[in-house]
Chain A
Amino acid sequence: MVLTKFVEVGRVVKINYGPQEGRLATIVEILNDKRVLIDGPTTGVQRQVIPIRRLTLTKFNLKGATRGARTGVITKAIKKSDPFAQYAQTLAAKKVAKKALRAKLNDFDRFRVMILRKRRSALLSTQLKTLKKSTGGKAQTQAKGGNKKK
Chain B
Amino acid sequence: MPAKKRTVRIGNWYKSDDEKVHFIRKRKAPRPSKLRKIVPGQVLILLSGRFQGKRVVFLKQLKSGLLLVTGPFKINGVPLKRVNSAYVIPTSTKVDVTGVNATQIDDDYFKRTQAQRRKNEQGFWAKRGELTAEQQATEKTRLEGKRNTQKSVDAALITAIKKTQLLKQYLGARFTIGKTTRPHELVF
B169 touches A115 (CB 8 A): yes
Nearest chain A CB to B91 CB, angstrom units: 4
On whether the beta carbons of B185 and A107 are closer than 8 Å, the reply is no
Q: Which residue of A lies closest to B188 (CB)?
A: A107
* A3 within 8 A of partner (CB): no
Q: Give the docked Cα–Cα distance between A106 and B45 (Å).
A: 13
- Interface mask (B150-188 → A, CB under 8 Å = 1, otherwise 0): 000000000000000011011001010000000001111
Minimum Cβ distance to chain B for residue A97 (Å): 17
Q: Is A111 positioned at the interface, with any CB of B under 8 Å from its CB?
A: yes
Whether A111 lies near B166 (C-beta < 8 A) is yes
A143 part of interface (Cβ distance < 8 Å): no
Q: Residues of B within 8 Å of A, CB-based: how many?
A: 16
Chain A 103-127 per-residue mask, 1 if CB under 8 angstroms from chain B, else 0: 1111110011001000000000000
Instruction: Report the Cα distance A105→B167, complex, angstroms.
Output: 15
Task: Determine whether the beta carbon of B188 is less than 8 Å from that of A106.
Answer: yes
Report the tally of A-B residue pairs with Cβ distances under 8 A: 34
| Total number of A residues with any Cβ neighbor in B under 8 Å | 9
- In angstroms, Cα B187 to Cα A5, docked, is 39
Cβ of B116 under 8 Å from chain A: no
Contact of A106 among B93, B167, B169, B173 (CB under 8 A): B93
Cβ-defined contact, B169 with A107, below 8 A: no
Residue B43 CB within 8 A of the other chain: yes
Q: Are B166 and A107 in contact (CB under 8 A)?
A: no
Q: Does B92 contact A (CB under 8 A)?
A: yes
Alpha-carbon distance between A105 and B185 when the two chains are bound, in angstroms: 11
- A104 interface neighbour in B55, B91, B167, B187, Cβ under 8 Å: B187
Enumerate B54-101 residues with CB–CB distance to A below 8 Å.
55, 91-93
The one of B55, B166, B186 that contacts A112, using a Cβ cutoff of 8 Å: B166
Bound CA–CA A112/B188 (angstroms): 14
Shortest Cβ distance from A105 into B: residue = B187
New A-B pairs, 8, CB < 8 Å, besides A106-B92, A106-B93: A103-B185, A106-B91, A107-B45, A107-B186, A108-B92, A108-B170, A111-B169, A112-B170
Chain B residues packing against A (C-beta within 8 Å): 43, 45, 55, 91-93, 166-167, 169-170, 173, 175, 185-188
